[in-house]
């Protein structure tokens, strides 16, 4: 039977429960244990697929096609273990399942209530990640202790903790120990109060992890242990790291958190194998090179909107001993101003995914700049579609070339709605989602980078390259270097006469890891290094 770890948060949101959960999973996995992660989100949306990136950040897509919370990206990047649709449940999903059962008559006329029906559904969701092939299931509960939305999830984990029995389940509470600058001291009272909220509903944390700006004194540790009813050795400091979130697992391991977890769960495991991780950390701390890359998008002011892209670029930098500096360029600014001035001095240009027409012409202008100046370019999802439109307009001479998404009556719709999407009326969970195979052309840059004839990448889109124009594109110098196995969908394009101009309909950023960077991102950063070194 799988052991279960429940991770809660207190005081404020955005403390980093996802990073802490991912770090614990990474440490246990590197001790030889089979780990699975899960995130319980208290919002009523069924999933984040229809939510604005300004509110929620990026939508992370799993191999099996679930649109999920961005914390699942942290789980996968830290552990290298793929998440599934069972790795993310929302209040919306839980209530939808319960109401569907009620409508079918599954409850045999009972009055349907939060307890036991909603909490039972939540418990089933939690147990869904704890199969025979799992040693430890780590469940992060979204929100903050005291939030009314989180109460059913906390109650369900309280019940499950007692049903599984001590030694089979563990509560870890992440809280804040703030530094009051005016007073020049740290305060433990917020952490005491958030722990008290949990105790008031029957949850006694076993381990307390304390986020802080400065190191805590022994007095702080003892006070928290005393007033939070926790052993002194189970109070763990999680101080802000200097350079990267990837330093967090090593900081926690040095304090013995992984040993403590194993002890509380009555488990034994081999010593952690962390040499590859430590080598990666050494590379990020002591880079030999530096490049500046521009990301031209419409959500630049919110880093979480492109979270996996930023991480994938960093991963490539780690492997190449290169510090990657990002210049965020608002796509709409490139519509109003000269692209050359906004992009002056960058060594590579990346255009990410997105939806809607806002900022599109700016993205296309940036792509023109990359193509004409021979600056390394990487396009992702909508970024590939914009690259196709730019090529159609300025190389093929197809005046007004565009996408059917924005101009359905245009003459040259070089990007068209997928055949399977034409009957779709609802927005949520209806796109082409999840991992799909791609066959790579033999003499292509993509195949050389992947070092494989066929790959699987994750997708999230409704539109595709219009096959009517494929012959013209190829005649003019575009290589359709990645196709679906049936040859009907263009998955990757590149330009034959450009040092690095590559775009994919997929989201390769979702499969990059800090010790195993994605080939397309590694190739992009390597090309940027070459461009930086080449004469202007």
Q: Pick the catalytic residue: 381, 386, 396, 438?
A: 381
Judge contact between 438 and 484, C-beta under 8 A: yes
Structure tokens at 315: 């991963």
- What whole-number distance in Å separates Cα of residue 394 and Cα of residue 413? 15
Judge contact between 141 and 37, C-beta under 8 A: no
CA 76 to chain centroid: 8
Structure tokens at 62: 């799993």
Of the candidates 1, 3, 20, the one whose C-alpha atom is nearest the C-alpha of residue 166 is 3
How big is the chain, counted in residues? 536
- What whole-number distance in Å separates Cα of residue 116 and Cα of residue 94? 13
Q: Pick the catalytic residue: 74, 369, 507, 531?
A: 507
DSSP string computed for 232-262: GGGEEEEEPPSS-GGGHHHHHHHTTHHHHHH
Judge contact between 506 and 379, C-beta under 8 A: no
Q: What is the 3-state secondary structure (H, E, C) of 315-351?
A: HHHHHCCEEEEEEEEEHHHHHHCCHHHHCCCCCEEEE
DSSP string computed for 33-97: --EEEEEEE-SSSSSGGGS-HHHH-PPEE-TT--EE-THHHHHHHHH-----GGGEEEHHHHHHH
Q: Is 438 a catalytic residue?
A: no
Q: Pick the catalytic residue: 237, 464, 494, 509?
A: 509
What SS3 class is residue 226? Answer: helix
First to last CA, the chain: 62
Q: Is 214 a catalytic residue?
A: no
DSSP string computed for 387-418: HHHHHHHHTS--TT-EETTT-TT-S-EEEEE-
Q: Is 162 a catalytic residue?
A: no
Structure tokens at 32: 């030889």
Sign of CA dihedral 25, 29, 33, 36: positive
- What whole-number distance in Å separates Cα of residue 483 and Cα of residue 457? 12
Catalytic residues: 381, 507, 509
């Amino acid at each position: 039977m799988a052991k279960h770890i429940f991770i809660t948060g207190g005081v404020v949101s955005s403390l980093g429960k996802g990073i802490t959960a991912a770090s614990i999973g990474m440490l246990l996995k590197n001790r030889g244990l089979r780990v699975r992660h899960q995130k319980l989100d208290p919002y009523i949306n069924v999933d984040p697929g229809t939510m604005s990136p300004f509110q929620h950040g990026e939508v992370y897509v799993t191999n099996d096609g679930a649109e999920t919370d961005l914390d699942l990206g942290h789980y996968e990047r830290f552990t290298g273990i793929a998440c599934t649709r069972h790795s993310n449940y929302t209040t919306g999903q839980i209530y939808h399942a319960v109401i569907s059962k009620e409508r079918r008559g599954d409850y045999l006329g009972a009055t349907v209530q939060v307890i036991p029906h909603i909490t039972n559904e939540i418990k089933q969701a939690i147990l869904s990640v704890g199969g025979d092939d799992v040693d430890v299931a780590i469940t992060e509960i979204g929100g903050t202790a005291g939030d009314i939305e989180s109460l059913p999830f906390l109650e369900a984990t309280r019940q499950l903790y007692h049903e599984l029995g001590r030694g089979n389940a563990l509560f870890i509470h992440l809280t804040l120990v703030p530094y009051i600058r005016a007073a020049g001291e740290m305060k433990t009272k917020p952490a005491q109060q958030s722990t008290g909220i949990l105790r008031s509903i029957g949850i006694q944390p076993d381990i307390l992890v304390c986020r802080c700006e400065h190191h805590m004194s022994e007095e702080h540790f003892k006070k928290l242990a005393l007033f939070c009813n926790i052993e002194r050795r189970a109070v763990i400091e999680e101080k802000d790291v200097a350079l990267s979130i990837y330093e967090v697992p090593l900081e926690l391991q040095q304090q013995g958190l992984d040993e403590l977890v194993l002890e509380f769960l009555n488990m034994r495991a081999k010593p952690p194998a962390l040499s590859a991780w430590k080598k990666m950390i050494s590379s990020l701390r002591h880079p030999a090179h530096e490049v500046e890359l521009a990301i031209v998008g419409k959500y630049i002011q919110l880093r979480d909107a492109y979270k996996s892209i930023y991480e994938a670029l960093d991963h490539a930098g780690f492997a190449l001993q290169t510090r990657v500096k990002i210049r965020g360029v608002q796509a709409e600014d490139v519509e109003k101003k000269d692209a050359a001035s906004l992009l002056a001095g960058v060594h590579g240009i990346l255009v990410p995914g997105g939806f809607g027409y806002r900022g599109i012409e700016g993205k296309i202008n940036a792509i023109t700049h990359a193509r004409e100046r021979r600056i390394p370019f990487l396009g992702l999802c909508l970024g590939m579609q914009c690259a196709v439109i730019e090529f159609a307009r300025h190389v093929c001479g197809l005046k007004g070339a565009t996408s059917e998404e924005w101009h359905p009556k245009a003459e040259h719709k070089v990007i068209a709605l997928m055949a399977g999407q034409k009957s779709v009326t609802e927005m949520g969970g209806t796109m082409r989602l999840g991992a799909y195979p791609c066959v790579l052309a033999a003499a292509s840059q993509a195949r050389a980078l992947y070092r494989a004839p066929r790959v699987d990448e994750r997708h999230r889109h409704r539109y595709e390259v219009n096959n009517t124009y494929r012959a013209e594109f190829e005649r003019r110098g575009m290589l359709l270097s990645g196709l679906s196995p049936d040859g009907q969908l263009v998955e990757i394009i590149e330009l034959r006469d450009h040092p690095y101009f590559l775009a994919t309909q997929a989201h390769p950023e979702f499969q990059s890891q800090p010790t195993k960077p994605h080939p397309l991102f590694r190739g992009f950063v390597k090309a940027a290094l070459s461009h930086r070194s080449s004469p202007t």
